[in-house]
Structure 1
Amino acid sequence: MEQVAVLTDKDKKRRSLVLGSLILGMFMASIEATIVATAIPAIVGDLGGFKLYSWVFSAYLLMNALTILIYGKLSDLFGRKPVFLFGLIVFLIGSLCAGFAGSMKLLILFRVIQGLGAGAVQPIAMTIVGDLYTIKERSQIQGYLSSVWGISAICGPALGGVFVEYISWSWVFWINLPLGILSIIGILIFFNEKVEKQKHSIDYLGSFLMFVVISSLMIVLIQGGVAWSWLSLPVLLLILLFVIGIILFIWRERKAQEPVVPLVIWQNPLIAIANTVSLTTGIVTIGLTTFLPSFVQSIMGQSAIIAGFTLTTMSIGWPLSSTIVGRLLLKRSHRLLLTIGGAFLVVGGILFFLLNGEKGPIYAAISSFVIGLGMGSTSTIFIVAIQNSVPWKLRGAATSSNMFMRMLGSAIGAALLGGLLNTRLQNFISEHGAKEHLTINSANAVLENKSVNLSAHAMALLKHGLEVALHSVYIGVFIFTVISLILIICIPKKYFSSRDE
């Protein structure tokens, strides 16, 4: 039986109030990805724990990615409304606590709670829209929902900069409270749901194995070469756990009645490559949003507001190219447009490869804009191509798999590039004979711009070391843009539209 959610009052005004409540919830969850990026240098400077820097992002993204698919199936069992409200409430609890965090470890814990709630917001909101609106209406409504991400991406970095500059970094989390409360009130009052329960089998074991695989990999990437040597027992055990986890996960997904990740869609070369590119571009995106504000503030000596501006340009380039490409898809070769998008990624990667403290924030902003052009065009074309390459019954799973891989790429990227940053900074300190006096966490002083009993020479050394370490991150970003373009070129020609032949 098909599960249907309806409004008791069919008046369009009431239905629009439900939509407004959903948009508030989505805006709250989407702005969190960019607003924290601008504030993180101030947070690390205040709380310390520079070596845990990337976990602030990784923890949130990991829980978000892992719970998206589970929440979707729970909404089939118990209805959209209770699952959406549960996600909002959990997210708000995490946001409230994060603003009061007194240490980096506590902040990471509260970010886990935020991610646990955020996983329900976007997919359930999209599902509710599908329940409430007809097929003809959905395209226009989905346009409204998509614009939420564009607006939040533009507002987030600037708003984070304002909070850090004039109020407190805690408000990057507390801003969620009024938005979330209004969303909850709107859903409670205006959304009445009639649920015809459909029996589903939730793959809890598959979800757990996925968590084990990803978590073990992320811990190795962040801690390897920093807290533990690469050949130490903890690292070797985690790698073994990762390998065993992958084997068990594939075995489980082949047997599961309703697998977390349907392996059948991965047999399609277009989807397999498109999802892999989404993984690599997710790494590129998080590499910029996580570490660019720190570079602009600590190395270039600019304010948090200016740092936010350098990220905002990527958020402008993304929807701009997405809109242009969306119109060109009917007229031009999909393969050509996709290759051009991949080329924009590589050009942006080169610009970041050449970035240094002397080039200034305008250069960084232009580099971000070019990356945004590549992201917008490739993501749009891939979604259209994926949906055209599978039958209707697999379209939802294929689309969600692409979204999941992008989020997974962001989670892994935060860990991978964060580990690279820590390793390079630690090696730099050792190479300059300062290991006895300086540690990775000494970089807190550079982010906070306070000497903290450090000499001028030590501060200069740390600043130079941080610039070298961040440059290593941008080398990694460049490498992943090249990998993305190579994968795009490798997509078999037959999977594109006839105009590509």
Structure 2
Amino acid sequence: MVQQTKNRKVVTIGLLAALFIGALDATVVSTAMPHITKELSGFSLISWVFSIYTLMMCVATPVFGKLADLYGRKSVFTAGLIIFAVGSILCGAATSMTAMIWFRAIQGLGAGALTPVTFTIVGDLYPGEQRAKVQGIFSSVWSIAGLLGPLVGGTFVDYISWRWIFYMNVPVFVIAFIFVVGFLHEKFEKKSKSIDYSGAILFTIGLSALLYALLNGGEKYAWNSALIISLFCISAVALSLFLFAETRVKEPMMPLALFKTREIRVIYLLSFLGFAVTAGVMVYAPQWIQIVLGHSATNSGFTLMPMCLAWPFAATMTGRLMFKYGPRLFIVSGAFVVAAGSLWLMLIDSNSPYSFLVGILVLIGLGMGLLATPILVLIQNAVDWSMRGVATSTNSLMNALGQTVGVAIFGTLFNNAAAGLETEQVAHGMHAVFIAIFVVSIAVVLVVGLLPSQRKESGKSKSSVAGG
């Protein structure tokens, strides 16, 4: 059982600091990238700075999630913290784009441990209704980081140096290290561990090939090119072997028993589809503002601000109210609000005012805030402590895959629909994307209908992590 001590609050502050700086890093790097590529002379490699980070994070997330179940949350969190800090220092010291790409890979590896293990520790520390409230706050971190990222990045680039967007991570991670490692005390049964090396290797190969194909298909290489087709084949074979291997090992990296529960299958699918919608909106709504409506790049960048404010507001309120009214109400409401925002997005045209985009992003932000918190809490309540790490990390993986697959599909639709670079042609291409986003949002609504009837949370925690 979790002890109610003051130290738990100290640990929570440390976890928030680690998660926030990791989330902030993504948006800050986007803002500073033009200056980085100019100084390091590597504009042609710019996509790799983001792709390698996403790739490593996706591959590492379920691996570290399982290790957290086997060896404890604190040790894996510490490893992720150190890896990310080392990667940040190296990125700040990079003297070439090639070096920057390799160092971003190290950062992504650390992020793959930090994000899911942070949410897992929160699930261990807080039982029942308290868990929902705190998870709502933690779910808001990404949106707040998205809001502050352009401001922080612009300030460092204009007045100090782009290198400090990486160096600033270090003091924050020192605080997180002291607060979490110094005050988090966990008790779990120590026994001989059997690591699923074959599963980890097959999963890494399969997912790496898949993500590389998705991130580069339709842009750097044609979808029907020999390389992309070969990558899809390699991915299919490796992931098939991975699924077979998971049925034959003592401690599978990703227990297939997770997917035997209808509730968890549906929730993972909701996470995948919901974040696909989010990715499409965050990529193409600002472009519509800038290219079609003719606003400045600054206005285009701040277009996402309403969404970044609405999301944490809804997530926090949901965390406070979901145990009074039930999680299903908020999941259903969130799905319909996202669909309403996506419908409005599909119906805009080149004559639609800027305020329409603001309203659309507020709706979608509110909808995702309503969805995110109950999804995470339901997953953690549905499994035992010994599987909470891998269950949480698998949800993080579904979020990242939803974003990656969504951007790949929407990008292909845009390239096929936009016959040229004229404003009307670009608008036509983006409208095709908006239609696809609405279709995915309808899928979210339909998948919500597959959720089993609502169950009450017992309020008892199976955790053995204590903050005291």
Residue 272 (str. 1) matches residue 272 (str. 2): no
Secondary structure of 2:194 counterpart: coil
Q: In structure 2, what is the Cα distance between the partners aligned to 1:387 and 1:374?
A: 21
Task: Work out whether residues 28 and 176 of structure 1, in 8 Å CA contact, stay in contact via their aligned partners in 2.
Answer: yes
Question: How many angstroms apart in 2 are the aligned matches of 1:177 and 1:361?
Answer: 39
Deviations 1:81-138 (A, max 9, x none): 5533332232233334445667766544333221101122233444556777788986
2:398 alignment partner in structure 1: 405
- Structure 2: distance between partners of 1:248 and 1:214: 12
Moved more, 119-128 or 405-414: 119-128
Does 2:386 match 1:428?
A: no
CA gap 1:27/1:367 in 2 versus in 1, 3 angstroms: same
Matched, 1:380 2:373: yes
Paired position in structure 2 for 1:479:
439
Counterparts of 1:139 and 1:333, CA distance in 2: 11
- CA deviation string 1:217-250 (max 9, x = no partner): 2333343344434333222222221221232121
- The corresponding residue for 1:249 is 242
After superposition, the Cα gap between the structure-2 partners of 1:125 and 1:345, relative to the gap in structure 1 and judged at 3 Å, is closer
Which of 343, 346, 356 is the matching residue for 1:350?
Answer: 343
C-alpha distance in 1, partners of 2:189/2:355? 55
Over aligned residues, Cα RMSD in angstroms? 4.2
Structure 1 residue 362 displacement after superposition: 3.8
Measure the CA separation in 2 of the matches of 1:129 and 1:326. Answer: 13
Name which of 206, 216, 219 aligns with 2:199.
Answer: 206
Matches of residues 118-267 of structure 1 in structure 2 within 5 Å? 118-126=111-119, 145-146=138-139, 148-149=141-142, 151-163=144-156, 170-184=163-177, 197-267=190-260
CA, structure 1 residues 124+36, in 2 after alignment: closer, same or farther (shift >3 Å)? same
Distance change >3 Å, CA 351–CA 159, structure 1 → 2:
farther
Q: Is the 8 A contact 2:69 2:388 kept in 1?
A: no
Q: Give the aligned residue type for 2:337.
A: F
- For residues 285 and 44 of structure 2, the distance between their equivalents in structure 1, rounded to whole angstroms, comes to 17
Q: Counterparts of 1:255 and 1:64 in 2: how far apart (Å)?
A: 26
Q: CA deviation at 1:71?
A: 2.3
Deviation at 1:418, TM superposition (A): 4.6
The 5 A counterparts of 1:283-302 are 283-297=276-290, 302=295
Unmatched tracts of structure 2, length 5 or more: 457-468
- TM value normalised by structure 1: 0.74
Give the superposition deviation at 1:187.
5.4
1:88 aligns with 2:48: no
Q: Does structure 1 retain, via aligned residues, the 8 Å contact 2:134–2:319?
A: no
CA–CA separation in structure 1 for the residues paired with 2:92 and 2:348: 33
Distance in 2, Cα, partners of 1:483 & 1:413: 13
Check if 1:109 corresponds to 2:102: yes
CA distance in 2, matches of 1:133, 1:475: 41
Is 1:62 the counterpart of 2:55 in the alignment? yes
Question: Are residues 1:317 and 2:310 paired?
Answer: yes
In the alignment, the residues of structure 2 paired with residue 378 and residue 126 of structure 1 have an alpha-carbon distance, to the nearest angstrom, of: 16
**Are the structure 2 counterparts of residues 236 and 311 from structure 1 closer, same or farther at C-alpha, using a change threshold of 3 Å?**
same
Quote the offset at 1:475 in angstroms: 4.1
Q: Mark the structure with the bigger radius of gyration.
A: 1
Higher normalized contact order (CA 8 Å, seq sep 6+, divided by chain length): 2
Measured against aligned partners, the alpha-carbon deviations of 1:365-408 in whole angstroms (never above 9, x if no partner) come to: 32221111111222233345445655676565544433331122
Which one of the candidate residues 17, 24, 27 is aligned to 2:20?
27
What is the rounded CA distance, in whole Å, between the counterparts of 2:72 and 2:379 in structure 1? Answer: 28
Does 1:495 find its partner at 2:436? no
User: Does the residue aligned with 2:247 lie in a helix, a strand or coil?
Assistant: helix
TM-score of the superposition, structure 2-length normalised?
0.78
Paired residue type of 1:401: T
CA 474–238 in structure 1, closer or farther in 2 if over 3 Å, else same: same
The amino acid across from 2:170 in the alignment is L
- Native 8 Å contact 2:19 2:141 kept in 1: yes
Gaps of 5+ in 1: 430-460
Percent identical: 38
| Rounded Cα–Cα distance in structure 2 between residues aligned with 1:179 and 1:210 | 32
Between stretches 36-45 and 81-90, larger displacement belongs to: 36-45
Q: How many residues align?
A: 456
Q: Per-residue CA shift, 1:243-288, capped at 9, x if unaligned?
A: 2123212101212222222212212233212211211112222233
State the AA in 1 paired with 2:441: T
Question: In 1, Cα distance between the equivalents of 2:158 and 2:356?
Answer: 22
- Distance between the aligned counterparts of 2:410 and 2:161, measured in 1? 27
SS of aligned partner of 1:255: coil
C-alpha deviation, 1:213, in angstroms: 2.3
